[in-house]
Structure 1
Amino acid sequence: MNCIVVDDNKMARTAIRMMIEQVEFLKLKHECSNPIEAFNLLKTEDIDLVFLDVEMPGMTGVELVKNLEKRPIIILITAKKDYAIEAFELNVADYIIKPVSLSRFTMAVSRAKELFDSNQKKTSNVKKDKEYIFARSNNILAKIKIDEIKYIQALGDYVNIFTDEKRYTVHITLKGIEEKLPQDKFYRLHRSYITSLNHIDNIEESTAYIGKHPLPIGEQFKKELLKKLNLI
């Protein structure tokens, strides 16, 4: 699970980072010192879990969660018990009181992992039945068959969807369209690219070739990509 830590206290971030490093299924992607930094990062990065301090200057952790359009799994961490009701209303995975012990941390991330696995299973079952998507491109609502999509390129708040015959420019983030695609057929191999696994012709070091089109493979995505391929 890709995760981030959001806390204005450097020592607190370090303590959580050290515990994350002891959990095999967690991968720390970023440490954020304020909610605004985290908010901007979550719009573009594929993050599954957020360890979030509550009381921070400018914006509280609770306010950050309320402002997220697409919400990852949240574990709230705070020195006070005053936010327990709000945490319950936000349906966060857990609510931890500082100082955080390793045993309490382990309990919280176990709950988060169960929730993550359950969400993945539900999403996968829904996506398997879809054979196409509709996308608004150049003021036209175009029907795009899933199997014809070769790769997708991020362009800020837009993406380019490439098929054999056309390119569709659509107002959606890469993370947003990734959530609509079947995970058994597509993989995000770079922060700016998603590719159809069936359309990968060959891989040379850190480059995947979709026909004659080279796509970069991010170092953090390479290991998981190789797991998804039918290697012999």
Structure 2
Amino acid sequence: MKKILIVEDEAELANNISEILSNLEYHVAGIVDNAASALRFLEDNEVDLVLMDILIHGDLDGIDLAYKIREKYSLPIVFSTAYSGTEYLERISSDIHEGYLLKPFTLDSLKTAVFFGLKRHGEKSSREAKPKGSLKIMDKGYLVPVPHTEIVYLQADGLYTRVFTKAKSYLVRDILKGFEEKLPAEQFLRVHKSYLVNVSFIVSFNAKKINLGDTSIPIRRGLYRELMDKMNV
């Protein structure tokens, strides 16, 4: 029987979800309402899937918690949220989860999300090993391990650096050169004095700029040929 951890700050809803999952023949391993409790629970208990609200109690939201879980555990995560706007859903559209539920959800949608969350994670685990390497970032007093594969680009901002991931951005008190020395050279390229880019997110480029989906970044003079070699063009 698959064991599920529920991370939900609405007690009544959490209990309802627990009852439904039990009726679907899942074992609810525990119910917590904040990141610290979730991490403590995972240290002492085996879990097959985490069903998690994005807005939870405490300083870390569900997205930050997902990063911390993925750093230590190979677990599928299914988010639940009451927000259906495109901008909000894009924020959680990343490799840190296997699905999401829009509140209020039905028994069928919950059943489907959990089933496919477990299935997708199993398929992904069989295809490839879990990516290694992460950047440790202090955010709101907590150390958040951000996988290298989640970082899209970094931008210099005076004595600070803005780190843009697929889910959110962080402002860190360290110069860009410091990050350049920490990140793997085969994956990240200093394309401009103010930008360090994860080359795997480059959609297109020319002699003047790089396109990273909706974001365009200037490139320094003379980099075009080096970038072509890096991209094996």
Please report the TM-score for the alignment, with normalisation by the length of structure 2. Answer: 0.48
Please report the TM-score for the alignment, with normalisation by the length of structure 1. Answer: 0.48
